[in-house]
Amino acid sequence: MAHLEGVRVLEFSHMVMGPTVGMILADLGAEVIKVEPLGGDKTRNLPGSGAGYFAMYNRNKRSITVDLKSAEGIEVIRALLENSDVMIENFRDGALDKLGLGYGAVREIKPNIIYQSCKGFLSGPYENRTALDEVAQMMGGLAYMTGPSGRPLRAGASVIDVSGALFGVIGILSALLSRKDTGKGANVRASLYETTAFLVGQHIAQGAVTGTPAPPMPERISAWAVYDVFDTSDGQIFVGVVSDGQWKSVCEEFGLTDWGADEDMSNNPGRVAQRNTIIPHLRSVFSKISTESLTARVGKIGLPYAPIRKPEDLLDDPHLSAHGMHEMELPDGQRVRLPALPLEIDGARPELRRSPPKIGADTDEVLSWLGLDTAKPA
């Protein structure tokens, strides 16, 4: 899949949001050149929960190392910008301006550049504040909605960084389309805080519609009577019943004849009103059945269901293994399988063209493209 073939992207970023913008564009066929400091992106060596950031979000890219504080380094970047379509950055405000790489300066080098910035906040009173994924989740209402009352809880993945990156990509693609007609570039900004606000918009709307502020998700009044995680005899499974036909099938499959004949339970509002009767009984029924058997039975009658799994369990998932994983080599030589872009175009998934690069792996090659001296450090 090379829909963005011919689009050259210069990426100045680290951590998650900026690299994710670059990875998505690279997966779609753009040539993405990651500009790293001479010692390499510090994200490469993060411990703990950050240990997978570089491996996950930097495939299909080239890497060059450049000293941005040297005249030679800036010469390289200017030459690359003259031959690029998009620039991605997620530095703190003002950092690139000091290097002569702010939007105004870059536009003088490449007038029709699409300059995409990943920020904590868009324009407004907070725009100069420092933010992280977790900061945005906490102040944007997502942590409140995820944990029970009094216990705000961040989501279990970098959902704001990645979602914010998606909006950055949407802005870039929109600007690329516009440039075809106008010849003009654009200054595209995406942010963590506004992304969080957008994601919790459904809860703001719920409050407006119902007249009552939305409670945290663990305490919500479900829209459906059966929409829960249940214990099985050997594990856990989520099961939902979201239509009257599915309810009839549940009653038939599990011998709930009285409920199947109860007119008050024949529609969803009636079942929600009797949720405190339905759920305890289903918990008792399901707890005596193995996960494998219950999965087969609810799958047979067409219910939405999901055995509760850990991230590492996905490596053995037959569906993902068929088309949804890329096997790649990390810079240290380790081989891993990681999720592909969740997208099909004309039945094809984005391809893996390059594993995450070693530090500066492509510096000499890129300098040679520009006709610059590869013997002199950039």
- Does residue 33 form part of some domain? yes
Are residues 248 and 168 both part of a single domain? no
Q: Which domain holds residue 130?
A: 8-199+324-369
Q: Tell me, what's the pLDDT at 217?
A: 93
Q: Tell me, what's the pLDDT at 220?
A: 87
Contact 89, 18 (CB under 8 A): yes
Are residues 272 and 232 both part of a single domain? yes
Supply 71's token pair. Answer: 């005249």
Are residues 43 and 185 both part of a single domain? yes
Are residues 306 and 329 both part of a single domain? no
Prediction pTM value: 0.94
The CATH number of residue 362's host domain is 3.40.50.10540
Are residues 51 and 181 both part of a single domain? yes
Say how many domains are in the chain: 2
- Does residue 178 form part of some domain? yes
**Ranges in the chain, pLDDT < 50:** none
Q: Tell me, what's the pLDDT at 374?
A: 66
Are residues 164 and 35 both part of a single domain? yes
- Does residue 124 form part of some domain? yes
Are residues 145 and 265 both part of a single domain? no
Are residues 303 and 334 both part of a single domain? no
Domain boundary among 310, 333, 352: 310
Q: Tell me, what's the pLDDT at 210?
A: 94
Domain boundary among 277, 310, 343: 310
Q: Tell me, what's the pLDDT at 222?
A: 85
- Does residue 22 form part of some domain? yes
Q: Tell me, what's the pLDDT at 64?
A: 97
The CATH number of residue 252's host domain is 3.30.1540.10
Are residues 231 and 292 both part of a single domain? yes
